[in-house]
Amino acid sequence: MATGSGIGSLIPLAMTLAGVMTMLRARRARRTGRDADGGDSEGARRRADALEMERRMAAYLAQRRSAAYVADDDGNEQEIRR
| CA–CA distance, 18 with 2 (Å, rounded to integer) | 26
Q: Where are the domains of the chain?
A: 1-39, 42-82
Confidence of residue 74 (pLDDT cuts 50, 70, 90): low
Question: Is pLDDT of 77 > 60?
Answer: no
pLDDT over 90 at 55, yes or no: yes
CB of 70 closer than 8 Å to CB of 77: yes
The whole-angstrom separation of Cα 64 and Cα 80 is 12
pLDDT at res. 49:
94
pTM of the model: 0.39
